[in-house]
Structure 1
């Protein structure tokens, strides 16, 4: 049985764990989040999505 979760959910969980563990400060997490939102509004968004889909395909083939 394969389990698929969204990359956004997985990254959100990672950020939450890093914040709770003290490895990441709130300011840095907010800056990364805002950078992600602004990057998604640029012309690079389709390239990034295709790259992530390709990476997910490679990982799932193992």
Structure 2
């Protein structure tokens, strides 16, 4: 749960920065948000969550 909240916050910040820097307009940003919202309610959502969790686990195992 903590990983998904962190990822959501980071992605939201990236989206805000992209809107402010004019690299993405408001319309496409809304489409991206709606796509993520509706993707979360499909049968693929658990697979996406597992994939993101495995990426988070892999990153956490990297020692600098």
Name the Cα RMSD after superposition. Answer: 1.3
Alignment of 1:1-62 (within 5 A): 6-62=6-62
Where structure 2 has 5 or more consecutive residues not aligned to the other structure, the ranges are none
Q: How many residues align?
A: 59
- What is the CA distance between 1:23 and its match in structure 2? 0.5
Q: Determine which structure has greater relative contact order: mean sequence separation of CA pairs < 8 Å that are 6+ residues apart, divided by chain length.
A: 2
TM-score (norm 1): 0.89
Moved over 2 A (4+): none
Map Cα deviations across residues 5-57 of structure 1 (whole Å, 9 max, x no partner): 61100000000011101101100100010000110000101000000000011
Q: How far 1:60 sits from its partner (Å)?
A: 1.3
